[in-house]
């Protein structure tokens, strides 16, 4: 058993690259990253508070800790590219440029929400921003993202489809069917595995025979790279290369982002599967926002006062979103079944 585990964990040949190596990034990009990640964090903190106050119902999965992944990947995208993900989706909406008011209103089940208050935390959509959801069934977004890649190719566009999924989702059967088709048809699909180490309370090592999820596409000939998902600069660089690979018609590519979630799986999580020390160690040593803050200060690109001003600004945006959500009316009862079934 021990030998089998050891073998499965051996470093893959040629798939793990040093992404932390010097990647050039402009001060403007670093500041953009900082602001975007901070917006996600403050938004999620506010969503957590509102949930506690009973202003948000149903399920709610926060993205705190994982901010660098969506921020870096989105930076590599252009208008017309499409994104699809699972239920941990508020950050993906924010990164796609959706108004935080529409997202918070959706969380609170209000008519002004992006899904008219009928989708909630797990079913958010903003097709105008290229965001195709928000899906609650683990792994189900992967065939959808593959289909979006097919649509881009069918229309002879050079747009790219990005599909995010978790380490747990990576074990779902439909993922493999989708990967096979994407490779067979050379689809422009970037698969981003957000490996936050746990699927609810199950660690990757307890659920996956091979821990290096970047190798998931190997049997279909899909190249994979493992990336430090807490380092937004590394994420941005890896994503830019992957998107370029797709735009050039080279077919699908897979990125495994090594990340970590600070909060519980959802708002109800007994947290018995990991220690507090484990969480605080990551927060102290690898926090994605702190890393960028330090880099900005060290490189003399900004000072504490300028960063505090960004923080203040971001907090105001989030406070406004929360106020807007609470002031918005609930959907009209007559709207209940509209848009729920095709043609309705």
Ligand X SMILES: Cc1ncc(C[n+]2csc(CCOP(=O)(O)OP(=O)(O)O)c2C)c(N)n1
Return residues touching Mg ion (CB under 5 A): 166-167, 196, 199
**Residue 137's binding partner, choosing from Mg ion, ligand X, none, with beta-carbon cut-off 5 to 8 A by kind?**
ligand X
Position 167 contacts ligand X (CB under 6 A): yes
Residue 228 forms beta bridges with which residues?
258
Q: Which lies closer to ligand X via its Cβ, residue 47 or residue 199?
A: 199
Sheet holding 224-228, edge to edge: 82-84, 161-166, 189-195, 253-258, 224-228
**Residue 23's binding partner, choosing from ligand X, Mg ion, none, with beta-carbon cut-off 5 to 8 A by kind?**
none
CB 224 within 8 A of CB 215: yes
Q: Which lies closer to Mg ion via its Cβ, residue 34 or residue 191?
A: 191
Phi/psi of residue 102, each to 5°? Answer: -65, -35
Exposure string (b/e) for 249-261, b if CB count within 10 Å is 16 or more? eebbbbbbbbbbb
**Residue 138's binding partner, choosing from Mg ion, ligand X, none, with beta-carbon cut-off 5 to 8 A by kind?**
ligand X
CA 217 to chain centre: 20
Choosing from 119, 130, 149, 168, the residue that interacts with ligand X (CB under 6 A) is 168
Distances (CA, A) of 40 to 5, 36, 59, 103, 175: 36, 6, 18, 11, 28
Choosing from 8, 137, 306, 338, the residue that interacts with ligand X (CB under 6 A) is 137
Position 257 contacts ligand X (CB under 6 A): no
Q: Which residue is nearest to Mg ion (CB)?
A: 166
Residue range at the interface with ligand X (CB under 6 A); choices 194-202, 276-284, 310-318, 328-336:
194-202
# residues near ligand X by CB under 6 A: 14
Q: Which lies closer to Mg ion via its Cβ, residue 115 or residue 259?
A: 259
Distance CA 187, CA 144 (A): 13
**Residue 265's binding partner, choosing from Mg ion, ligand X, none, with beta-carbon cut-off 5 to 8 A by kind?**
ligand X
Residue range at the interface with ligand X (CB under 6 A); choices 39-47, 76-84, 163-171, 180-188:
163-171
Residue 164 forms beta bridges with which residues?
192
Give min distance, CB of 128 to ligand X, in A.
25
Choosing from 136, 203, 211, 240, the residue that interacts with ligand X (CB under 6 A) is 136
User: DSSP string spanning 200-236?
Assistant: TTEEHHHH-SSS-GGGTTGGGT--EEEEETT-HHHHH
Contacts of 319 (CB under 8 A, 6+ apart): 46
Site string for ligand X, 195-234 (x = CB under 6 A): -x-xxx----------------------------------
Q: Which spans of this chain sit near ligand X (rule: CB under 6 A)? A: 88, 136-138, 166-169, 194, 196, 198-200, 265
């Amino acid at each position: 058993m021990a030998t089998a585990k050891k073998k499965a964990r051996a470093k893959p040949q040629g798939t793990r690259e040093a992404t932390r190596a010097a990647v050039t990034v402009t001060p403007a990009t670093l500041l953009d990253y900082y602001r975007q990640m901070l917006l996600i964090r403050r938004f999620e903190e506010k969503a957590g508070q509102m949930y506690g106050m009973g202003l948000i119902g149903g399920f709610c999965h926060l993205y705190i800790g994982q901010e660098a992944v969506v921020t870096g990947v989105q930076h590599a995208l252009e208008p017309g590219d499409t994104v699809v993900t699972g239920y941990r989706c508020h950050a993906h909406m924010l990164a796609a440029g959706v108004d935080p008011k529409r997202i918070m209103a959706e969380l609170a089940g209000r008519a002004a929400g992006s899904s008219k208050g009928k989708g909630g935390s797990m079913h958010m959509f903003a097709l105008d921003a290229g965001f195709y959801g928000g899906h609650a069934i683990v792994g189900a977004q992967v065939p959808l993202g593959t289909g979006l890649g097919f649509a881009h190719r069918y229309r002879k566009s050079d747009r790219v489809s990005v599909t995010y999924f978790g380490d747990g989702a990576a074990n779902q059967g439909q993922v493999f069917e989708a990967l096979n088709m994407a490779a067979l048809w050379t689809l422009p699909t970037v698969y981003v595995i957000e490996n936050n180490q746990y699927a609810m309370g199950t660690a990757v090592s307890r659920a996956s025979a091979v821990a290096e999820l970047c190798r998931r596409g190997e049997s279909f000939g899909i190249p994979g790279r493992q990336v430090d998902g807490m380092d937004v600069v590394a994420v941005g660089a890896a994503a830019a290369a992957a998107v370029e690979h797709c735009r050039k018609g080279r077919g699908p590519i897979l990125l495994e982002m090594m990340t970590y979630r600070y909060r519980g799986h959802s708002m109800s999580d007994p947290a018995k599967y990991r220690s507090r020390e484990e969480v605080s160690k990551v927060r102290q040593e690898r926090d994605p926002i702190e890393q960028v803050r330090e880099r900005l200060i060290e490189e003399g690109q900004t000072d504490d006062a300028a960063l505090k001003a960004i923080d203040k600004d971001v907090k105001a945006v989030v406070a406004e979103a929360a106020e807007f959500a609470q002031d918005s009316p609930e959907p009209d009862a007559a709207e209940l079944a509209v848009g729920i079934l095709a043609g309705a």
